[in-house]
Amino acid sequence: MEITEEKINEIRRSVNIVDIISEYIPLEQKGRNYFAVCPFHDDHNPSMSISPEKQIYTCFVCGAHGNVFNFLMDYENISFIEALKLIANKVGIYLDIGNRFGKRITKNENMYEIYDIANKYYQNNLHTKDGIEALKYLKNRGFTDDIIKTFGVGVSGRNQLTKILKAKKYSDDILLKSGISSGSNELYDTFTNRIMFPLCDLDGKVVGFSGRIYNTEDSSKYVNSKESEIFKKGNLLYNYHRAKEECRKKKFVIIVEGFMDVIALYMVGIYNVVASMGTAITKEQAKLLKRLSTNVILCFDGDGAGNKATLACAKELQDVGITPKVVRLPDNLDPDEFIKKYGVEEFNNYLTNYKSLLDYKLEELKKNTNFSNSEDVSKYLKSAIQELYQITDPIVKEIAIKKLSDDTGISASTINGMLKNNNKVINIEKKQIVKLNKYEKSERELIFYMIRYPEVIRIYENNKCYLPTQKFRYLANEIVHYYDKHNNLLVADFLSYLSDKEELLEAFNIIDVMNLSENYTHEQIMDYINELNEYSINEQIKKLMNEFKKETDSIKKIEIAKEIQELKVRV
């Protein structure tokens, strides 16, 4: 049974957002709204407003915004469906999870079946005569039977899997698409004589494999499944489905580079750990990490590549609002090697004595600086200032300035002056970046009033103007569609409707928190529409001008020129 919008709205309306948020953070009533210190950024003054009337919350500093489900998703680092279930359980509403959130697309069912069969085949092989050497290798690496079972470790055989799958009537085409088989005229197993580690999606369903050599020489230590319709490395984290509960209990997540590091930590009882599957962290993976915890520790290999991966991952995390902590292991060791050499107690000491991202970056800058060279010192200070301006905590900033002063011999007052000048430049640049032209301003303000007034939706529908920005154009269309279907637009319900439309949700949040008067005039709305129509006409003129330049037929050129002239009269 599918969960309907009506059911979602029933669950949301069964609670008061004020009551739910007050279970997590203290609230103070001021007038019609409630206020709280925002839990989603380093807040010291109450900057989050909760509206009982609209059933939404808004932080006026970091931009956090949404309904009760959004709050739970961000605070508990859970998915929409998990937030929905949490509220439903709280109020005793029965929830039958249907196919709206996460049912597999039918065309991919065969792919999942193939990977499930392959996974069972590989695991079974490990306990046959074909797996004797592989099992011995794993035992020598410290793998226990429990670890082998937990991670579904197996071994590929001698080109039998393809035959088994073909006997089950899977087509050559689907076997090739899955990556389990390779070849052209005669298919064969992609993986042979390798220890097999299943790679899972967010729900724990096998979608790929990584095969490791163990008893042969090969230029490729690991061979991974090719990407497919169900396997996109940049959208997944290794061990995510196992780690999520432990991350919530421990209130932090460790990210390492490879799955062997994950398994090494599991062997010593550290379960709140995931890996990036050997690739640079993507924006999607950064968002997944944020769902696990906003307290992230980066523990990549101790070599130069690990340093680059640390900085790259930190940047992606900062882009989604997380400032990670950093653990750097000595002697160029990865976590697996470190634990084998020094033990789990010493590893836990490193976890406890992590470095802040700022300290880590400043240390890296310092390593590459010749303090006897004035140009090097200047370069070091300028780079350090770039990092410092992002720090909002005045104590952390003062300590860092003192360290910089001690390292360079430059007075703290001079460094403070550099920091203030740098902030001025950055603020100017920020203002230039966010400056909107009159058409962008009109589309945003028009949608702001569409969200609040049904009559503005009707004016927009009747005048069919063209919005210049795609995400806002799509958002306006969704608003019209939603209103036509429900004959109302409650912001809190509309946010639930957008829960699986991430880009539109972001666009909505940008507009809904704009600092505009809640009141409007008909003339004001028509001004927006006229300006947007002007934009549309100007775009048509530009297109025709390009066609005019390229056209070689004189008669057609005259026709285009006439069209351009007619449009210019309308502007």
Cβ atoms < 10 Å from Cβ of 234: 14
Per-residue pLDDT, 325: 95
Cβ atoms < 10 Å from Cβ of 101: 15
Strands of 68-205, DSSP E:
154-155, 181-182, 188-189, 195-200
Tell me the C-alpha distance between 205 and 225, whole Å. Answer: 15
Q: Write out pLDDT tens, residues 441-490.
A: 999 999 999 999 999 999 999 987 889 999 999 999 999 999 999 999 99
Per-residue pLDDT, 219: 67
Mean pLDDT computed over 96-102? 53
Give the model's confidence band at 51: pLDDT under 50 very low, under 70 low, under 90 confident, else very high: very high
Q: Write out pLDDT tens, residues 9-28.
A: 999 999 999 999 998 888 89
Per-residue pLDDT, 465: 86
The candidate with the shortest Cα–Cα distance to 251, out of 77, 413, 108, is 77
Q: What is the mean pLDDT of the chain?
A: 87
Burial class (CB in 10 A: 0-12, 13-18, 19+), 311: middle
Per-residue pLDDT, 102: 45
Tell me the C-alpha distance between 302 and 62, whole Å. Answer: 34
Strands 253-256, 273-275: parallel, antiparallel or unpaired by DSSP? parallel
Q: What is the rounded (10 degree) CA torsion for 340, 342, 346, 351? A: -50
User: At a CB cut-off of 8 Å and minimum separation 6, what does 420 contact?
Assistant: none
Per-residue pLDDT, 567: 65
pLDDT at 6 over 70: yes
Per-residue pLDDT, 10: 92
Contact between residue 271 and residue 246 where contact means Cβ atoms under 8 Å apart: yes
The whole-model pTM stands at 0.67
Cβ atoms < 10 Å from Cβ of 70: 23
The candidate with the shortest Cα–Cα distance to 310, out of 293, 295, 296, 298, is 298
Per-residue pLDDT, 432: 45
Per-residue pLDDT, 353: 93
Per-residue pLDDT, 424: 53
Which comes out higher in pLDDT, residue 244 or 55? 55
Q: Write out pLDDT tens, residues 242-272.
A: 998 898 888 899 999 888 999 999 999 999 9
The residues that bridge with 189 in the sheet, in sequence order, are 181
How far is residue 427 CA from its own chain's centroid?
27
Mean pLDDT computed over 38-52? 84
Tell me the C-alpha distance between 134 and 194, whole Å. Answer: 8
Per-residue pLDDT, 105: 41
3-state helix, strand, coil in the chain (%, to 5): 55, 10, 35
Contact between residue 460 and residue 483 where contact means Cβ atoms under 8 Å apart: no
Q: Half-sphere exposure (CA, 13 Å, Cβ side) for 2?
A: 8
Give the model's confidence band at 103: pLDDT under 50 very low, under 70 low, under 90 confident, else very high: very low
Mean pLDDT computed over 86-115? 74
Buried/exposed code over 31-62 (b: 16+ C-beta within 10 A; e: otherwise): eebbbbbbbbbebeebbbbbbeebbbbbbeee
Give the model's confidence band at 549: pLDDT under 50 very low, under 70 low, under 90 confident, else very high: confident
Mean pLDDT computed over 132-150? 94
Residue 512's φ and ψ, nearest 5 degrees, are -65, -25
pLDDT above 90 coverage of the chain, percent: 49
Per-residue pLDDT, 177: 93
Number of H helices, E strands in the chain: 26, 16
The terminus-to-terminus CA distance of the chain in angstroms comes to 53
Per-residue pLDDT, 429: 44
Q: Write out pLDDT tens, residues 386-424.
A: 888 778 778 888 898 998 888 888 888 888 888 877 665
Give the model's confidence band at 425: pLDDT under 50 very low, under 70 low, under 90 confident, else very high: very low
Per-residue pLDDT, 2: 62
Tell me the C-alpha distance between 223 and 208, whole Å. Answer: 11
Which comes out higher in pLDDT, residue 427 or 189? 189
Q: Write out pLDDT tens, residues 480-516.
A: 999 999 999 999 999 999 988 888 998 998 999 888 8
Which of these ranges, 96-105, 162-171, 226-235, has the smallest mean pLDDT? 96-105
Structure tokens at 412: 């703290």
**How many angstroms separate the most distant Cα atoms in the chain?**
85
Q: Write out pLDDT tens, residues 315-360.
A: 999 888 888 999 999 988 989 999 999 999 999 999 999 999 999 9
Tell me the C-alpha distance between 395 and 401, whole Å. Answer: 10
The amino acid that residue 432 corresponds to is Q
Place of tokens 């020129």: 561
